[in-house]
Structure 1
Amino acid sequence: MSQVSILVFDIFGTVVDWHGSIVRELSAAHPQVDADAFARAWREGYQPAMQRVRSGERAWTRIDELHRGILDEILPRFGLDHLDEDQRARLNRVWHRLDPWPDSVPGLTRLKARFTLCSLSNGNIGLLTNMAKRAGLPWDCVLSAEVFRAYKPDPRVYLGAAEVFDLPPAEVMMVAAHQDDLAAARACGLATAYIERPLEFGAAHVKDVSPDPANTRHARDLLDLAEQLGC
């Protein structure tokens, strides 16, 4: 760890509670809808949509547009196909309004005292900036797949983050709540830290957060990671 100076973070699920945020907003606006099922259905379309971009089937497309396409597909399933354009556009921007996990802001603030902190998300730059402004996320730099025109786990994203700071990959640590993200980062030479987020998909769908010994660190949350890293 002595050589690591940059921490780059996955965002959805790791730093912010996408499921809980969508459930709360949808429940308030449309109480008749199964908000838990809606949130999970929206997220289930995320990887297939990005894969169409990765494969070249679709030209580079920002996450905001991919989210909107998935939203339009699932609205009829939940009896919301009557929503007009303004309502759909506002609902789609819920991804800009996701709430941080309770430990995120204090944990990041402690980590920032020793490390440079940077987002490294598939979310687009506008989305990540709006989210950070609203939630008080103290990034030193906002990096996105949009910068590299490639979606994780494409190596261009992880290696690109190191290149931005003119550092070898070993001096960058990927922090995420998803083992596949960390495995891809590790394959590019980055250090890795796993953050347990057992409730990422809601209390009814508790996630396995078992340690993977291949990771450099395993932490309960971002405050625990800060403690482990001497912050």
Structure 2
Amino acid sequence: MTRALLFDVFGTVVDWRNGVAREAAPILAALGRGDIDPHAFADAWRAGYQPAMEEVRSGRRPFTRLDVLHRENLETLLARHGIVDVPEPVMITLNTAWHRLDPWPDVVAGLTRLRTRFILAPLSNGNIALMLNMAKRAGLPWDAILGSEVSQAFKPTPQAYLRTAEVLGLSPGECMLVAAHNKDLAAARACGFGTAFVARPTEKGPGQTIDLRAEQEWDQVATDFGALATALGC
């Protein structure tokens, strides 16, 4: 029986692309580079996400918080655009754009309904401070604030899923991952988790070509968190 719903966050719970673009636009303009498309900037920053985590997953680098990886990728991206010697307070503000992302419109109401029957927590590659600040700003009603420090691993490494269940005192079979990404769900299922797919067809912008639909027979497939709550009897 499912007791906990654990959520992928970037893309599933929050709209990272528009949020990062919103935060980046005025800073880029203030740095004299208002010519840079803020959405393209967000996409390029995000493109460094998986390669940076792969250094950890492969064992080539010790576990490193996502805030640090984001900062390193940001410095590389700014240098690529010829932007150097940025004041440290500005760098901190820009790097923590990921802490200030907006939830999709259905999220808060959907989570509130789901919380009446299930334990809710993030199962994200983001670190605890990032998840905490995001939740406080966006009003996300988590029962526990978990981050990648809990597992010392990044998805889709099995430890990321199994250690999260363990710290909640649950078996994998008592946990269900809710995600907009088929690969994430496949990794969770391989660890014994239940699975729920919620499509976010605009996560990567108007040209998105992946994760537009469920690619396997997941335990639940829903159009949004409200529909998932209905399907789960909340």
The residue correspondences of 1:166-205 to structure 2 (distance < 5 A) are 166-205=169-208
Partner of 1:18: 16
The amino acid across from 2:6 in the alignment is: V
1:224 Cα deviation from its structure 2 partner: 1.2
**Alpha-carbon separation, structure 1, partners of 2:153 and 2:216:** 28
1:101 Cα deviation from its structure 2 partner: 0.7
1:80 Cα deviation from its structure 2 partner: 3.1
SS at match of 1:141: coil
Identity of aligned residues (%): 53
- CA deviation digits over 1:194-231, x for unaligned, max 9? 11001101234364412233311111111111111111
Partner of 1:214: 217
SS at match of 1:143: coil
The amino acid across from 2:180 in the alignment is: A
**Alpha-carbon separation, structure 1, partners of 2:148 and 2:85:** 33
**Alpha-carbon separation, structure 2, partners of 1:124 and 1:103:** 24
The residue correspondences of 1:36-185 to structure 2 (distance < 5 A) are 36-185=39-188
Unmatched runs of 5 consecutive residues or more in structure 2:
none
The amino acid across from 2:137 in the alignment is: R
Alignment length, in residue pairs?
229
Unmatched runs of 5 consecutive residues or more in structure 1:
none
Q: Report the TM-score when normalising by structure 2.
A: 0.93
Q: Report the TM-score when normalising by structure 1.
A: 0.94
Contact 1:200 1:207 in 2 (8 A): no
Using the TM superposition, name which of 96-105 and 204-213 deviates more. Answer: 204-213
Contact 2:5 2:176 in 1 (8 A): yes
